[in-house]
Amino acid sequence: MKELRVLAPTAILGYGFPIQSFEEGLRRDPHLIAVDAGSSDPGPFYLGAGVSFTDRSAVKRDLELLLTAARERKIPLIIGSAGGSGGEPHLEWNVDIIEEIAKEKKLSFKMAVIHGEISPELVQDKLADGKVKPLPPLEELTCEELEKTERIVGQMGIEPFIRALEMGAEVIVAGRAYDPAVFAAPAVLQGFDRGLALHMGKILECACIASTPGSGSDCMMGFLREDCFLVEPLNSARRCTPMSVAAHTLYEKSNPYLLPSPGGALDLSETQYLAASSRAVKVTGSKFIPDPNYTIKLEGVKKIGYRTISIAGVRDPVMIQQIDEIIDSVREKVAENFAVQNLTYFLDFKVYGKNGVMAGLEPVVETNSHELGIIIEAVAPCQATADTICSFARSTMLHWGYEGRLSTAGNLAFPYSPSDFQAGPVYVFNVYHLLEVSDPCELFPMELCQVGEVGA
């Protein structure tokens, strides 16, 4: 039976994994080790600032194990969305770690580096040609908005990875990529069904999150065959069930049957999830529907200011019952105090223990918490103004006199000194659009290089 075995060590490079699980995966004789190294989930800051949301030492630990195992077995290692966000600085950061490990371990291999950052000028040209359209809830992209954009990446599909494999790459590290692409590309190159390959990649990209109990820091194995695929966790404490795998398929999806991807969509209307054993699940029926117009999803960010925050606790039951009125009064006092300067700022109070997570969507109206955690946040065009607004809001709330108040020493308990923290630049996503291309590889230049001495 024709079969491709894929080892997915962790949900994101740097999240870690048990060595025992990894070794169990290696005993299954994988044809490929692949890992998705990033996501837009942590928000726009990391893309804009050009830094990783995973720690360098943690990433190096994972990569040492993956790179050494892949080279010993002479199988490909493929990494997508390098450095977390997949921009140029993230890619360079990840490549630097790989080259450092190769030097320390005396490893030798041919490495493909696929770039995923796209210039605003290129997007502007495509915009002028009518090749850019928005994804809800964003509106049509404008040249003015593009001029404010700090960094843009494109979410590449399987084709750039296939090109790298065809050119003999043994290690591939790529910028922003469609998460399942790193798992599916070698399979499609070898003639496996694209729909099944992408669906298996959709499960493997989060590793054992699709198992029960779930974990993003444990290894999962995928077995792709001509008419199905199987997924199985490599830790005996976990198992996949039809429910856990089906549920993960719907993760972050608005349509349960149609999952958009570069170049088309996964059609899951006839997909079936069957228990293959007490720990493995067999999936059949997944199909890929090509789109006549190949589109790449763009992710771009702009800087909107700088943030300062203060963290405090409230234990007074009288204050807790009046917290909304007190916050409104503090807002008014801040606005009144700085009216003359006409400062531009955003001031927010997140009240944990009341509605800090869901804000206005919180269905529980009455607050029964015996204590509240409050984060005071100020965002302004410059750090100094953000500092000023946060400091004044914090001191005003600390000494606010409310009905029934007995204490005169202060209303807030601060766990840290200093009480205010500069959080630095603030970014928001302003580009979340589809760009139509004639060639799936045209936006993603690649370099092929020799790492280490040949025969080392």
Concatenate the DSSP letters of all residues of 398-446 into one string: HT---TT---SS-S-B-SSSSSEEEEEEEEEEEEEEEEE-SSTTTT--E
- Residue ranges covered by each domain of the chain: 3-116+156-294+437-451, 304-430
pLDDT in tens, the chain (456 residues): 699 999 999 999 999 999 999 999 999 999 999 999 998 999 999 999 999 999 999 999 999 999 999 999 999 999 999 999 999 999 999 999 999 999 999 999 999 999 999 999 999 999 999 999 999 888 999 999 999 999 999 999 999 999 999 999 999 999 999 999 999 999 999 999 999 999 999 999 999 999 999 999 999 999 999 999 999 999 999 999 999 999 999 877 788 899 999 999 999 999 999 999 999 999 999 999 999 999 999 999 999 999 999 999 999 999 999 999 999 999 999 999 999 999 999 999 999 999 999 998 999 988 889 999 999 999 999 999 999 999 999 999 999 999 999 878 899 999 999 999 999 999 999 999 999 999 999 999 999 999 987 765
Tell me if the pTM is above 0.85: yes
The hierarchical CATH code for the domain 304-430 is 3.30.70
Q: What b/e string do you get for 407-438 counting C-beta neighbours within 10 Å, with b at 16 or more?
A: eeeebbeeeeeebbeebeebbebbbbbbbebe
**H or E stretch at 376:** strand 372-380
Q: What is the C-alpha separation between 387 and 58, in angstroms, rounded?
A: 33
Strand pairing of 229-233 and 258-261?
A: unpaired
